[in-house]
Amino acid sequence: MTNPLNDENANPFEIAKKAAQEIAQKTGVESHDIALTLGSGWAKAADLIGETVAEIPGSEITGFSKPAVVGHVGTIRSIKLPNGKHALVIGARTHYYENHGVRAVVHSVRTAAATGAKTMILTNGAGGIKPEWAGGAAVLISDHINLTANSPLEGATFIDLTDLYSKRLRDLAREVDPSLDEGVYVQFRGPHYETPAEVQMAKTMGGHIVGMSTALEAIAAREAGMEILGMSLITNLAAGIQSTPLSHAEVLEAGRNAEARIGKLLSEIVAKL
């Protein structure tokens, strides 16, 4: 099946609306309140935040494609929270490095907004620049630097990105865990990890976390009017900060080791929304 997002003349918001209608139909849940994109290490949260009402392979929903990476989950889940709200959990993230275009990268966020979600929780596994984050720290994203040289916005769409990662939601997260640190996320294109020199550049520019997702999604979420909470699991110290080479296996292992802890943390934060 060809992806309608590849048709340049198609309206990506109409495609997101169609995807949202399909989700409503397949889950039986008319609208969702909160959406979560669960990156490396975060998948367990889906089991902890509430009762799964329905789970759909992303490939059955218009505009979504199969995940390219082992360790990434490709399903969309509707979860009923204990407080009665409905959460949409997106495991089917499309990364910028997959070369499907920026519309595909932000389709899940636009779809989440079209399902009614007013809060977007974006999580990822990432490299840490601060040595004290070694060993799998969960960190709040306070701001980002977008090094993809791209934007999900089309045309002269001028969007304010002040307080993009909501201070209100960061404060709420700290009510659950007052020890949560925060930092500036730097999105590189990937899929290669950064060179030590690039990590030093990111640090000089004011960055603390390096990764390959989230910033473009956050911009689209803001365009859609959602309030955003961003969280990174530091799966490794960034290249050159740690002395050993980086590997996807290390990232996955760090995710597995942290999974129960950060899943519980995220579920407690979601309960407060």
CB contact set of 72 (below 8 Å; sequence gap of 6+):
39, 40, 91, 93
| DSSP per position, 34-68 | EEEE--TT-TTHHHHSSEEEEEEEGGGSTT----S
Q: Which is nearer to ligand HPA, 41 or 74 (CB)?
A: 41
Which residue's Cβ has the minimum distance to ligand HPA? 127
Query: What distance in Å separates the CA atoms of residue 12 and residue 38, rounded to the nearest whole number?
Result: 22
Look up tokens 């039986």; give the residue.
28
The active-site residue out of 22, 182, 194, 223 is 194
Residues that bind ligand HPA (CB under 6 A): 125-127, 193-194, 210-212, 235-236, 238, 246, 251
Query: What distance in Å separates the CA atoms of residue 224 and residue 222, rounded to the nearest whole number?
Result: 5
Q: Please report how close the Cβ of residue 12 comes to ligand HPA at its closest, in angstroms.
A: 26
Q: Please report how close the Cβ of residue 251 comes to ligand HPA at its closest, in angstroms.
A: 5
Q: Which is nearer to ligand HPA, 55 or 253 (CB)?
A: 253
Q: With contact defined as beta carbons under 8 Å apart, do 187 and 212 qualify?
A: yes
Q: Please report how close the Cβ of residue 92 comes to ligand HPA at its closest, in angstroms.
A: 18
Please name which of 167, 178, 165 lies closest in space to residue 229, comparing C-alpha atoms: 165
Q: Please report how close the Cβ of residue 16 comes to ligand HPA at its closest, in angstroms.
A: 26
Whether 194 is a known active-site residue: answer: yes
Residue 87, helix vs strand vs coil: strand
The residues annotated as belonging to the active site are 194
